[in-house]
Amino acid sequence: MLRSPFLKLSMLFFIVYLSSCTLLGDRFFQQEDLSKQVDNTLAELPKARDHLKELRTQTIDKLSEATEESLLLEVSTAYKEAFSLADKPLVRQEIQQRLAYIHLQIAEERQVNDASLPPKAVYKEAIDSYLALLAHYDQQDGLAVIQADEALFDEALFDKAVFDEALFDQGLFDEDQLDQILYPLAKAYEMSGDIPKALAVFNRLVIEAPNSVYYSEAQFRRAEILFAAADYAAASHAYRSVIDRSTLLLNTSKQSAKKTDNSATFLMNSWYMFGWSDFKLGRYRSAIKAFFTVLDNQPQLDTDNELLAKHALSSQQALTNDTLRVMSLAFSYEAGSETIADMLDEFYVGLSEPEYVPKLYQNLAGLYLEKKRFIDSADTLAAYIYRYSKASNAPDFHKQLIEVYAAGVFPDRVREQKQQYVQAYGVHSEFWSMASTESRLAIQDSLSLYIKELASYYHHLAQTKQRQRKASLYRIERNRIEQNPIERQAVIDESVQLMSEQDIQLLYQQAGDWYETWIANIPSSAEIDNIWFLLGETRFESKSYQLAIKAYENAAYGSFGRQDSSGIDSSPNPTATEPVFNQHNEAAYAALLAYDHLIAGHNSHSPINDDVNASKQQIEQQTEQWQIAKNQSALLFVSTFPNDNRSNAVLAQTLQSLFSLKQFNETIKVGQQLVDRLAIDNTDASSTSVEDSQKFKVIAYLSIAHAQRELHEYDLSEQAYAEVLSVLNKDVGSSLYQQHYAASLENYAASIYQQGLLQTEAGEHALAANNFMRVVELAPSSSIRLSAQRDAIALFLQIKKWRKAVTVMTDFQQRFVTDTATKAMPSQLLLAYKSLEDWPLAAAQAKKISVDDDDPNVRQQALYSAAEFYYLAEDIDNAIDSYRSYAHSYTLPLADNMEAQYRLTELYAETLALDKRAYWLRKLMVTHKNAESPTERSRYLAAFSAVELAETTLLSYQSIPLAHPLKQSMANKRKAMKVSLDAYHKALSYNLELFSTQATYRIAEIYAGLASALLASERPAGLTALELEQYNFLLEEQAYPFEEKAIDFYTINIERSWQGIDSEWVRDSYQALAQLIPAKYGKREMLPERM
Amino acid sequence: MSYILLRILILVSIVMTSSCSSFLNFSDQSSSANNALAEKESNTQIVDNKKARAELNRALSAIKSHDMAAADSAFKAMLLAGAQSPTALNHYAIFLREQWRMEEAEAMYLQALKNSPNNAMTHWNIAIFYELYRGDYQQALDHYQAYQQYAASPDKRVIHWISDLNRRIEKESS
């Protein structure tokens, strides 16, 4: 069969096939051998061992084994037959070599197919075959057969085996044959479990065939065996040889050479194991460098098979992790994170650092943590954070750092690091400004957690310290009161340990700062309102009331005044359906309380209060601004939380504030708002008690009333005050009543009174007086009632409502006896009576004043007035009595005195008491004569009196008839005439036209009358006609001079008329002269006829 | 001697009194004089309009009724109606003199003379006005003389009055 052409052809095929199988077998060998060696070597490193297993399983090809052994046996038989037929040495050697390989393959098949077979037995034939080949090779070269004893090898031999690049390139080496023998032999030894002989053969191969394609593998096998035998130095050397050869080939670009030694295949494993070897030798830096090389040269996965790719990736990751772990160990044996940094700086100068750098730190930190070396672990993480502060994973490292401290129970450091975390990555950090939205979102949870924890911590601490302080101070005070010095001292000693109030405030301030940070960092949190509230609480406790107010208001009113500086969408989280905070009204109310403290000057942080140079005016202005702001907040509270049972109280307080700020229109508006609320409360039977309702109603109406009064809307304020009184009257005697009634009544009265005043200014006196009287009627007990009644009186007098004035004045006099107005009342009453022309009352009032008044001038004037009023009342007796009393009592002023005398002359004329009249006429003349400063009036009255007295003498004179005997009667007549003439001449002496013309006329008349009387006198009886004629002549002679005298005096009056003087006496003088001298004075105008 | 002289004086005065008594009824005298004047004035009279005449009549009626205020009002209305005649103005002037409104009376006479300078009645009246109510003898003299000039026939009494006035003027000047 073998001789047939087909068989020959088949043999050739098998020969070629086996040649190819050699390579395949190499691969098999390579993998299994490595597996065994490394398994042993890495026994103490579980991960490394696992990895090697994976490597082994990863590259196993599934071939059909069942029929392979029989096929190989047939081939072996065929080769043996061929060997027996071959006669040429080279052919025989070739066949022998083929047979050796086939034996090796058969052994492998057997070992695979039946693991129970003893390896030595299985590989014996193969080993023998190769030993035979080797022996033949040695005989050819004259070399002794290599003893399978490694002790025979000198280390120096390895260094002598120098790689010859030219020879390697040409492939003309002896070891071409030798390495083909040594390599499978070594393999067979190793597979058979005879490791020392395998090592010996490998040793010879690397020494005697340094240019062999098996060189790298041989070195690698050596290294593995040596490593497994804990000969780390030799192993390291062997691994290094693989690396050097690979590096050399790479650098000399021998990848395309005809011969390849597969050094690259072992390169990474060599680096890896080289690292391990040096690690074992304590050469950590060298080891780390090797590991860096391994990590930096991880192959790129390039396969379309997803399963394989996944498998490969998993293996690669395992190797990476293992490498990293051993590196961590190495770093930990060196200077830890400092070494990492040093190595990185050394390796990657000018290059970008590898991506796994974080893992270096992280693994090192993890290693420390496993060993409970918390500080080292934390320091490692901190080193990374420090070195890579802008790295996107820096926050993660920081978070781990915090967790490390937490695990180590270092609370202070935890807190410190949380603070640093917030500072480093919070919204105000440079990191945040540079970070992407994803990065920001990634750290927000931690930010939120840490800030809240920090805030809570400081808040809780402050509260605890505050409670302790209060409790201690309370005990001190109690002991002081109980006078227990011993316990008191003990408590005082204890209190020394207490935190000061300022320090507690600082704690609150710190807590508040963290709440602020929280808000700034997590503005869109569903908890935001609660945090605002807590911020308010802490600011309040640290007496930063302005900040507290802002926080409280933000908590209460949501977006009210909120500023988002985070750069993250602060819109409410739509997923946050569960309310986290339900105390908005409490926050709003707390803001108002904070305002109260602020306004009360308790804000120790106010820039104004801190400024010692701030003027009082500045402080007042600031306080006013706060007050205004508080009022706005209060109104917002009420509008936002209308059902809060404190709303009414808030409104009530706001009202008082608005009023104090002089915001009167707003006061009225808010007051009405409160009134409306209370009205609704009443109908709704709200929680407001009756007492509170009444109290608020009083405050509301009072505020409205006060404001309206300030706005001069007195009619409206009157109504509001009336409402107050109405409410108070519902519970007379209550504390509310006692507190407000009197004042409200006063204000009520004042409002009405003010209406009166305004109307007075507007000239509406009647309306004003009515309003003043309304005060009297509606608020008779008010203090302003007196003024009102007094003003009403004045107005009634002014508008001449005399009857009303008298009534009100009479009442006033009785009620207010001692009032100054009462003292003036008699004269006002007098005016009223006078105006009413109620002369009897006027006279009586004047008489009363003339007696009672303190002022003598008033008394004097009143007496004169009394006299006049008595006269008007037709009470002549009292009039005369008063004038007389006046004339006698008050000589000055001269005018009044003389008028009184004059009035007496008139009254006595009326009563026909002519003697008394004559007395006062004479008195007038005397008074004028004696006056120091006579006046025209006094001269007139004196002249008048003189004429009046003369007139009386004229009557006497005219009453005397001229009868027979004429001589006697003439004597009497002339005597009377003289008296009368003297009287008229006296009157003329005053030289007053009015009375001069009269006196002149009377004198003329006296003369003319005497002449007429003479001519008409009785004639003696018994006269003859002649005697009678002579008698008549005699009479005419007697009468003529008197008539001439009469004409002269009449003419005087005529001439006076030429000077423009006119009087009845002048005109009568014309008449008289017209009769006495008609030719001269009887001339008359021509009266023209009527037209 | 003195007695004889006294008697002579008495006689003279009696004569004068008797002569004066013939003038007692002044209105009679004046009316005769008026008649004389009427003839001469007819050529110079200024005829007032109806309104003026009516007002004058109203004034004169008021005077009769002693309603001097109404009279005065009517006279003023008369003037406003354009009265210019000596008759109208003399009525008013006499009324004013009786009311002792001397300045106005004088002005009215002068106005009448201005309108009718040759009116004898006006010269008569103003002459008496100056003599009795002003004591202005010279003016009185002038107007008496004018009367004599313009009257239809000179009045004998006026001759005596002129003589008396001349004497008094001479006495005053001495």
A–B interface: beta-carbon pairs under 8 A: 83
Lowest model confidence (mean pLDDT) among A69-73, A176-180, A565-569: A565-569
User: Do the beta carbons of residue A533 and residue A552 sit within 8 Å?
Assistant: yes
The three state secondary structure string of A807-836 is: HHHHHHHHHCCCCHHHHHHHHHHHHHHHHC
Measure CB to CB from residue B34 to each of A1036, A1082, A1086 and give the nearest one: A1086
Residue-level pLDDT at A1091 = 41
Angle (CA) A976 A981 A982, round 5°: 100
Distance CA A921, CA A905 (A): 6
**pLDDT tens, A1042-1073?**
899 999 999 999 999 888 888 889 999 998 99
CA distances from B170 to A732, A1034, B167 (A): 110, 34, 5
Distance CA A978, CA A988 (A): 15
Residue-level pLDDT at B38 = 45
What confidence tier does A38 reach under pLDDT thresholds 50, 70, 90? very low
Residue type, B44: T
Residue type, A354: P
Of A546, A530, A548, A528, residue with least CA distance to A538: A548
Residue with tokens 């008595």: A870
CA distances from A720 to A671, A681, A705, A706, A711 (A): 10, 20, 5, 9, 13
Distance CA A312, CA A298 (A): 11
Residue-level pLDDT at A1090 = 43
Q: Touching check for A1037 and chain B: CB below 8 Å?
A: yes
Mean pLDDT for chain A overall: 82
3-state secondary structure of A1091: coil
Is A1062 within 8 Å of B100 when comparing Cβ atoms? yes
* Chain A environment of B90 (Cβ under 8 Å): 1085-1088
Q: Touching check for A1086 and chain B: CB below 8 Å?
A: yes
Distance CA A903, CA A591 (A): 87
Q: Using the predicted structure, report yes or no on whether residue B16 has a pLDDT greater than 90.
A: no
Q: At what angle do helices A89-113 and A119-141 cross, to 10 degrees?
A: 160
What confidence tier does A1003 reach under pLDDT thresholds 50, 70, 90? very high
Of A267, A272, A277, residue with least CA distance to A290: A272
| Mean pLDDT, residues A983-989 taken together | 90
Distance CA A273, CA A404 (A): 33
Distance CA A183, CA A100 (A): 12
Residue-level pLDDT at A168 = 54
* Chain B environment of A1039 (Cβ under 8 Å): none
Chain B closest CA to A836's CA: distance in Å? Answer: 35
What confidence tier does A767 reach under pLDDT thresholds 50, 70, 90? very high
What confidence tier does B28 reach under pLDDT thresholds 50, 70, 90? very low
Best mutation target, B6, B16, B20, B26, to test chain A (most A CBs within 10 A): B26
Measure CB to CB from residue B125 to each of A1036, A1057, A1085 and give the nearest one: A1085
Residue-level pLDDT at A387 = 92
Of A737, A663, A741, A675, residue with least CA distance to A706: A663
Residue-level pLDDT at A115 = 78
Of A532, A540, A536, residue with least CA distance to A581: A532
Distance CA A310, CA A318 (A): 12
User: Do the beta carbons of residue A980 and residue A1001 sit within 8 Å?
Assistant: no
Q: Using the predicted structure, report yes or no on whether residue A529 has a pLDDT greater than 90.
A: no
Of A476, A34, A64, A437, residue with least CA distance to A223: A34
Range from A231-240, A596-605, B32-41 that averages highest in pLDDT:
A231-240
Instruction: Give φ, ψ of A534 to 5 degrees.
Output: -65, -35
> Where is pLDDT greater, at A316 or A794?
A794
* Chain B environment of A1082 (Cβ under 8 Å): 20, 23-24, 26
Residue-level pLDDT at B80 = 93
- Closest chain A residue to B3 measured between Cα atoms? A1037
Distance CA A401, CA A908 (A): 132
Residue-level pLDDT at A446 = 87
Q: Using the predicted structure, report yes or no on whether residue A47 has a pLDDT greater than 70.
A: no
- Closest chain A residue to B55 measured between Cα atoms? A1091
Of A271, A296, A391, residue with least CA distance to A351: A296
Distance CA B33, CA A806 (A): 74
- Closest chain A residue to B95 measured between Cα atoms? A1087
Of A78, A90, A193, A175, residue with least CA distance to A134: A175
Instruction: Give φ, ψ of A775 to 5 degrees.
Output: -60, -45
Residue-level pLDDT at B133 = 92
Residue A860 backbone zone (phi > 0: left; psi -120 to 50: alpha; other: beta): alpha
Distance CA A251, CA A268 (A): 16
| Mean pLDDT, residues A428-441 taken together | 88
* Chain B environment of A1088 (Cβ under 8 Å): 34, 86-87, 90-91, 121
Q: Using the predicted structure, report yes or no on whether residue A775 has a pLDDT greater than 90.
A: yes
Residue-level pLDDT at A494 = 67
Distance CA A243, CA A266 (A): 8
Residue-level pLDDT at A685 = 53
**pLDDT tens, A636-672?**
999 999 888 899 999 999 998 999 999 999 999 999 9
What lies within 8 Å, CB to CB, of B147 at 6+ separation is B120, B123, B124, B127, B155, B158
Residue-level pLDDT at A479 = 75
| Mean pLDDT, residues A947-972 taken together | 83
Is A1088 within 8 Å of B10 when comparing Cβ atoms? no
Q: ipTM exceeding 0.90?
A: no
The three state secondary structure string of A260-296 is: CCCHHHHHHHHHHHHHHHHHHCCCHHHHHHHHHHHHH
Q: Using the predicted structure, report yes or no on whether residue A773 has a pLDDT greater than 90.
A: yes
Residue-level pLDDT at A209 = 83
Is A1083 within 8 Å of B20 when comparing Cβ atoms? no
Measure CB to CB from residue B26 to each of A1037, A1062, A1082 and give the nearest one: A1082
Q: What is the dihedral of CA A774, A777, A781, A787, to 10 degrees?
A: 40
What confidence tier does A713 reach under pLDDT thresholds 50, 70, 90? very high
* Chain B environment of A1033 (Cβ under 8 Å): 7, 10
Chain B closest CA to A861's CA: distance in Å? Answer: 41
Instruction: Give φ, ψ of B42 to 5 degrees.
Output: -55, -30
What confidence tier does B15 reach under pLDDT thresholds 50, 70, 90? very low
Chain A closest CA to B69's CA: distance in Å? Answer: 19
Angle (CA) A492 A493 A495, round 5°: 60
Distance CA A258, CA A250 (A): 15
Helix (H) or strand (E) holding A239: helix A232-251
> Where is pLDDT greater, at A88 or A60?
A88
Token pair for residue A1057? Answer: 């008329």
Q: Using the predicted structure, report yes or no on whether residue A702 has a pLDDT greater than 70.
A: yes
What lies within 8 Å, CB to CB, of A309 at 6+ separation is A301, A303
**Long-range CB pairs of A406-415, under 8 A, 24+ apart, other chains included:** A407/A369, A407/A374, A408/A372, A408/A374, A408/A375, A408/A378, A410/A374, A413/A378, A415/A454, A415/A457
DSSP for A506-533 reads HHHHHHHHHHHHHHHH-TT-TTHHHHHH
User: Do the beta carbons of residue A681 and residue A693 sit within 8 Å?
Assistant: yes
Is B23 within 8 Å of A1040 when comparing Cβ atoms? no
Range from A592-606, A820-834, A1044-1058 that averages highest in pLDDT:
A1044-1058
* Chain A environment of B37 (Cβ under 8 Å): 1086
Distance CA B86, CA B121 (A): 8
Residue-level pLDDT at B37 = 46
Residue-level pLDDT at A682 = 67
Lowest model confidence (mean pLDDT) among A262-271, A788-797, A852-861: A262-271
What lies within 8 Å, CB to CB, of A624 at 6+ separation is A661
What confidence tier does A282 reach under pLDDT thresholds 50, 70, 90? very high
**pLDDT tens, B84-138?**
889 999 999 999 999 989 999 999 999 999 999 999 999 999 999 999 999 999 9
Distance CA A215, CA A207 (A): 9
Q: Using the predicted structure, report yes or no on whether residue A261 has a pLDDT greater than 70.
A: no
Chain B closest CA to A1066's CA: distance in Å? Answer: 11
- Closest chain B residue to A1041 measured between Cα atoms? B6
Distance CA A532, CA A518 (A): 9
DSSP for A878-929 reads HHHHHHHHHHHH---SHHHHHHHHHHHHHHHHHTT-HHHHHHHHHHHHHHHH
DSSP for A151-198 reads GG--HHHHHH----HHHHHHT--THHHHHHHHHHHHHHHHHHT-HHHH
What confidence tier does B7 reach under pLDDT thresholds 50, 70, 90? very low
Residue-level pLDDT at B105 = 94
Residue-level pLDDT at B46 = 61
Chain B closest CA to A887's CA: distance in Å? Answer: 40
| Mean pLDDT, residues A477-486 taken together | 74
Lowest model confidence (mean pLDDT) among A97-106, A228-237, A407-416, A879-888: A97-106
- Closest chain B residue to A1087 measured between Cα atoms? B91
Instruction: Give φ, ψ of B131 to 5 degrees.
Output: -70, -50
Sign for the CA dihedral angle at A579, A581, A586, A592 comes to negative
Q: Using the predicted structure, report yes or no on whether residue A604 has a pLDDT greater than 50.
A: no
3-state secondary structure of B153: coil
> Where is pLDDT greater, at A699 or A492?
A699
* Chain A environment of B85 (Cβ under 8 Å): 1091
Chain B closest CA to A940's CA: distance in Å? Answer: 24
| Mean pLDDT, residues A350-377 taken together | 90
Share of residues in chain A with pLDDT > 90 (%):
32
Residue-level pLDDT at A55 = 45
Lowest model confidence (mean pLDDT) among A346-350, A408-412, A685-689, A957-961: A685-689
The three state secondary structure string of A955-987 is: HHHHCCCCCCCHHHHHHHHHHHHHHHHHHHHHH
- The 10 Å CB-count burial string (b at 16+, else e) for A126-139 is bbebbbebbebbee
What lies within 8 Å, CB to CB, of B54 at 6+ separation is B81
User: Do the beta carbons of residue A183 and residue A230 sit within 8 Å?
Assistant: no
Q: At what angle do helices A936-958 and A966-989 cross, to 10 degrees?
A: 170
Residue-level pLDDT at A730 = 85
Residue-level pLDDT at A498 = 76
**pLDDT tens, A727-743?**
998 888 888 888 899 99
Residue with tokens 């996944």: A310
Of A895, A912, A900, A819, residue with least CA distance to A866: A900
Lowest model confidence (mean pLDDT) among A258-272, A274-288, A456-470: A258-272
Chain B residues whose C-beta is within 8 A of a chain A C-beta are 3, 6-7, 10, 16-17, 19-21, 23-24, 26-27, 30, 33-34, 37-38, 48, 53, 56-57, 60, 85-88, 90-91, 94, 97, 100, 102, 121, 124-125, 128-129, 131-135, 161, 164
Residue-level pLDDT at A692 = 85
Residue-level pLDDT at A53 = 53
pTM of this prediction exceeds 0.80: no
